A = this chain, B = another copy of it.
């Protein structure tokens, strides 16, 4: 995560305690927190941090390509720091848990030219839905 901070500083990001705390909260794999969860965890380290700042910071991290925004359920968006390792998501219909997974093959190539209708296709998101072990038990 410190390399993330370095990278951001290198891009002219002004380093504030708020931004540092948000970045720290987002560290790790299989992290898929909502903005509100990020706020709660950030506030545990830095009580004065505001919701607006958390939203701003998350938005910037997304624009910078350091974090991926995931909306699997039409409810709160989730923020996934695992942005530099292409992956898909496996979502539990029961509890909403999310796992990062790595399918085989490249789904982009599954969309033939005649199905592109003049679009410049840049990315593909794949969400597998199912029931996780604890929910099916």
Other-chain residue from B69, B73, B99, B122 in contact with A117 (beta carbon distance below 8 A): B99
Copy number of this protein in the oligomer?
2
Q: Is A130 an interface residue (CB 8 A)?
A: yes
Contact check, B122 vs A130: say whether CB atoms are below 8 A apart.
yes
Report the minimal beta-carbon distance from A34 to chain B, rounded to whole angstroms: 11
Chain B contacts for A15, CB-based, 8 A:
none
By size class, the interface of chain A is 35 or more
Contact check, A118 vs B101: say whether CB atoms are below 8 A apart.
no
Query: Which residues of A, 84-137, contact B by the 8 Å Cβ criterion?
Result: 88, 90, 92-93, 99, 101-105, 107-108, 110-112, 115-133, 136
**Residues of A with Cβ closer than 8 Å to B?**
69, 71, 73-74, 77, 88, 90, 92-93, 99, 101-105, 107-108, 110-112, 115-133, 136
